[in-house]
Amino acid sequence: MATSLKNLSSYNKESVPNASWMKFALVVSEWNSEVTDALYKGAYNTLIKHGANKENIITAGVPGSFELTSAARNIAKRTDVDTVICIGCVIEGDTPHFDYVCQGVTQGITALNVKYKIPFIFGVLTTNNQQQALDRAGGKHGNKGDEAAITAIKMVNFNCSLKK
């Protein structure tokens, strides 16, 4: 469903498991920081709202969205987090750079999900312009950070249900 038809911050709060025992990492791109800071705040506040403990949330900043996968991999290898939320924003410009970065980040996060036993969440906006990004980072379409946090909680819960 297109984001323009759905508010990213709308969800059934009853369907979200308690996150008090879960450990999270949020890897945040510094590029387009006006957008990524808002996405981070949305994700962080949503985790807290659903019971996550502040001491169980690691935050790491990286220069750009392309670096998200490397940082996420390093966190997964060196910590005991249950999930890594990758937060970034790539806005289309006048060159094909947009296509390469979007493809690299998408394939990188997908590869991490296949390689590791924890979920890596795609909280990366890929928009045509700044306004579309702002609309999805707390604007008229809600906040993709909220959506990423809910996805992380649900995927950790899903993985744990398989261990029973």
Q: Looking at this protein, which amino acid is placed at residue 33?
A: S
141 catalytic residue (yes or no) = no
Candidates 97, 103, 111, 115; catalytic one: 97
Q: How far is CA 45 from CA 9, 41, 111, 117, in A?
A: 12, 6, 28, 25
Between CA 96 and CA 54 the distance in angstroms is: 39
The DSSP bridge partners found for residue 125 are 89
Between CA 40 and CA 133 the distance in angstroms is: 13
Longest dimension (CA), the chain: 51
The three-point CA angle 140-38-77 to 5° equals 130
Between CA 7 and CA 24 the distance in angstroms is: 24
Query: Which of the residues are catalytic?
Result: 97
